[in-house]
Amino acid sequence: MGDVPSPVGHALGGLIAGASCLGASGRGRGAGAFLTAAAVAAIAPDFDFLWGRHSMETHSVAAAVLAGLAVLAWTRDRRLALAVALAWASHVLFDWLGSDTTPPIGVMALWPFSSEFYFANAYVFEAITRRYWLDNFVTHNAWAVLKETLMLGPVAWAAWWLARRRTSSGRNGGRW
């Protein structure tokens, strides 16, 4: 099969992390850029497909911390750095909870301290197939994305709604 979950599920995880960190640096017009950065950070670990080391170093807590530190060094925005680190870590968590079927199974979550692969056997997310020649390619992947959206979409919406309430309360004297 392949990666778990889809880029849609990972982006929703990034939006959840980003909205959870949204504050003064993400108010108003800047909120879109803030949340976009978090969504991109949540998808970024899969760029390791480009060099053939999927689920390895980029799928670790250390990589999440390094991504956050890079953003902090570049922007000096602590909230954005935290959002990026948490969004990246959500990718590691979601893949750990997924239905990985392509060896090596799991993620190298504790790299560089361990090169072991960790897998939860939880099967929360469906494996996305890249085998486009299979009869069920479209239906399987569409079903997997729909399940991710139904699971994570309401959580992402709730996190965004709470963040808006939290940031607007700072402008009206603390009243909701």
For residue 126, what are the domain limits?
Answer: 7-169
Report the predicted TM-score, pTM, of the whole model to 2 decimal places: 0.88
Kindly report the average pLDDT of the chain as a whole number.
Answer: 88
What is the spatial distance between Cα 37 and Cα 80, in angstroms, rounded to a whole number?
A: 8
Supply the pLDDT for residue 24: 52
In a domain, 165, yes or no: yes
Contact predicate 67/44, CB 8 Å? yes
| Residue 109: predicted pLDDT | 96
Whether 175 is covered by a domain: the verdict is: no
- Structurally, the chain folds into a number of domains equal to 1
The reply to whether 112 falls in a domain is yes
* Domain-located, residue 99: yes
Q: Is residue 174 one of the residues assigned to a domain?
A: no
Report the pLDDT value the prediction gives residue 101, as an integer from 0 to 100.
Answer: 78
Say if 116 falls within a structural domain: yes
Q: Is residue 176 part of a domain?
A: no
Low-confidence residues of the chain, pLDDT below 70? 1-3, 23-29, 167-176
CA distances in angstroms from 64 to 22, 116, 131, 159, listed in the order given: 18, 17, 29, 21
Q: What is residue 127's predicted lDDT score, i.e. its pLDDT? A: 82
